[in-house]
Amino acid sequence: MSVVEMKNPVSDAQQIAADLMRKARVAQQSFANADQARVDEAVRAVAWSLYKPEHAKALAELAVQDTGLGNVPDKIIKKQRKTFGALRDLMRVKTVGEIERDEKKGIVKFAKPLGVVGAITPSTNPGATPVNKALLAIKGRNAVIVAPSPLGYRTTEMVVNYMRDALGQIGLPKDLVQILPSPVTKETTQAIMEAVDLVVVTGSQDNVRRAYRSGTPAIGVGAGNVPVIIDETADLDSAAQKICASKIFDNATSCSSENSVVIVDAVYDKAIAALKKAGGYLANAQQKKKIESELWKNGKLNRHLIARDMSVLVKGFELPADVTASKFIMVEETGIGPQYPLSGEKLALVLTIYRTPDFKAAKETIRKILDFQGKGHSMGLHTKNMDRARELAEELPVVRVLVNFAHTFGNGGGFDSGLEFTLTMGCGSWQKNSISENLNYKNFLNITHLVVPIPEDKPSEEELFGPHWTKYGR
């Protein structure tokens, strides 16, 4: 065997990654010393490339055409709302030079770029997610390489070209934003994960696990399965309207869309009436069986029914034709776990309803739902009793507890929510994620700490050990 034959040849996937990385490195290095004004100019340009009405419309139409997921009007709103909100957040923060000073501790913090970011993006948001990640990356003076879902490739390619043109228009390297060439494969995606300086994954849990195994620092997100409680103090009409608006947005493609509603017995009938008034249709027991058998095939969600219009669901579930006039379908359930798929995430206009005796029982139902699926992600509560909201936040294993929100519009950032605008939400160690917050600009920075001497801060032994000595002796 020759020496040449003994060497491990560079695979096609590795060569593709190397070519992209070479261009990304050149672009990023030329941008690394930009001042804050120039960085913000770039961020604005990239944001406008998606927010621009004709661009948002073209991308929404192509995404629905190619993926069949969601609907055009809501995708336009999503693209513009998320981009506008993210731009608001980013224009209010510094990411160049000194970004924080603590005189008492004698520490000054300076922001530095990470380098090249690998952005793995899903088919559910093939236009909005790449731009959101690119905005965060560029705010940190990084370059980004997007590895999209094959199903949404044409949409992602279009939006990447919009971003590249926007950067070129203001005299910056277009290669600050690149896309993995088609066809995207597991091998090319893996090669990019291994080559970049940070991987940020939104989408399949398989990609999240691959990212964490890549040897590159990685930020991944967990699966959603948002449950919400309606208690006896809630404004029922308001709660129902918010749940409906959130559930039906973009045909429930969002991981923040409500999947289960747990209603206390005292207001159960009135809450169901309010949900019906808001647009819900309550399926009967026979219809429930059909919904369950059609929405899952061989243990997996049926791609022909998820994120589809009501007309498609009515036909697929063999419901009466007049149900098409409803906005979503409600199915009553008592069980939780693998034998009860309706207790999990549905990505469809189907909402599971649970009835519980009181708030205490509702909390435990939520806990069981999260233990089955969605732990770490988020939950909601409709109430006038803020003590209950605090109780849930103290006790349940979720990163976010939203009170009196249309969940989809508050969880990933909102103009009446203090959470950062994002399409990537960390779920903490509960889902083996490295962050327990909304993905934000800080996740795209290296920080240098300048440290100077301060007056000595050394307590006595008595101050630190005294309570132990008193209770247990020396």
What pLDDT does residue 3 have? Answer: 41
Q: Which CATH architecture group holds 10-221+439-450? A: 3-Layer(aba) Sandwich (3.40)
Domain residues of the chain, as ranges? 10-221+439-450, 226-412
For the stretch 271-280, pLDDT in tens is 999 999 999 9
The question of whether 244 is a catalytic residue gets the answer: no
Phi and psi torsions of 169, nearest 5°: -60, -30
Q: Are 114 and 445 in contact (CB under 8 A)?
A: yes
Which of 255, 347, 370, 379 is labelled catalytic?
255
In angstroms, the CA 24 to CA 30 distance is 10
Q: Is residue 10 predicted with pLDDT exceeding 90?
A: no
Q: What percent of the chain has pLDDT over 70?
A: 98
Query: Mean pLDDT, the chain, as a whole number?
Result: 96
pLDDT digits (tens, 9 = 90+) for 60-105: 999 999 999 999 999 999 999 999 999 999 999 999 999 999 999 9
3-state secondary structure of 199: strand
Pick the CATH number of 226-412 from 3.90.1150.10, 3.40.309.10, 3.40.30.10, 3.30.565.10: 3.40.309.10
Q: What is the pLDDT of residues 94-130, one digit of tens each?
A: 999 999 999 999 999 999 999 999 999 999 899 999 9
Q: pLDDT-based confidence at 9, cuts 50/70/90?
A: low
User: What does the alpha-carbon distance between residue 204 and residue 133 come to, in Å, rounded to a whole number?
Assistant: 17
Q: pLDDT tens, 145-163?
A: 999 999 999 999 999 999 9
